[in-house]
Amino acid sequence: MSELKTIEPLILTVRGKKGILDADLAEAYGVETKALNQAVKRNADRFPEDFMFRLTEAEKSEVVTTCDHLQKLKFSPQLPAVFTEHGAIMAASVLNSPKAVEMSVFVVRAFVQIREQLAANAEILKRLAEIDKALLEHNGALQVIWEHLQPLLVPPEPPKKGRIGFNVHLDSE
């Protein structure tokens, strides 16, 4: 499980997909990045775009900037490859090393755990939206009640004080 915790931070979101860079995957599988890329090249038909893709220069620059452990890629002339969950599994199958097979289980678990966290977050966001909607409805109802109560809260005008007694009006003749 501790290996799972070390792999999870290596999973990045690139082009809206979760993936792991070739250098990180190679390290997890206990092989050189060059060996991983050669195995992928020899088995290119097993790695369609949804399994593995190369970063653009701009994406590479952004990834190097955001991830401290990737500073070594900054001056590399090669554009790193990103392996999705399925690509990471496929890479383990083409590498055929015992370490790669063993680690592929941890890589898959890390992707699954991230997917579960995203699903849980989506459910929480859905519930918050429902609560927000209910609060807005209640706010509207409270506003109507307040408007109806407002006239009742105004104190009544005090009765006009008149003179006590008789008023005699004498007409001047």
pLDDT value, residue 53:
92
Q: Is 88 in a helix, a strand, or coil?
A: helix
What is the architecture of the domain spanning 2-111?
A: Roll (3.10)
CA dist 94 and 149 (Å) reads 75
Average pLDDT over residues 129-146: 82
Q: Which residue has the higher pLDDT, 111 or 68?
A: 111
CA dist 62 and 48 (Å) reads 24
Q: Which residue has the higher pLDDT, 162 or 133?
A: 133
Residue written as tokens 């849980």? 120
Residue 99's contacts (CB-CB under 8 Å, 6 or more residues apart) are 29, 30, 31
Name the pLDDT band for 162 (thresholds 50, 70, 90): low
Name the pLDDT band for 1 (thresholds 50, 70, 90): very low
Rg of the chain taking only CA atoms, in angstroms:
35
pLDDT value, residue 2:
44
pLDDT at 146 over 80: yes
CA dist 145 and 159 (Å) reads 29
- Calculate the dihedral angle through the C-alpha atoms of 129, 132, 133, 138, rounding to the nearest 10 degrees: 160
pLDDT value, residue 171:
66
- pLDDT tens for 26-85 read 888 888 889 899 999 998 998 999 999 998 888 888 877 777 666 677 777 788 889 988
pLDDT at 105 over 80: no
pLDDT at 119 over 70: yes
Asked whether the beta carbons of 84 and 39 are under 8 A apart, the reply is: no
Percent of the chain with pLDDT over 70: 81
CA dist 148 and 142 (Å) reads 10
Average pLDDT over residues 90-114: 74
The token duo for 5 is: 């915790």
Structure letter (DSSP) for residue 51: T
CA dist 138 and 158 (Å) reads 36
CA dist 37 and 91 (Å) reads 9
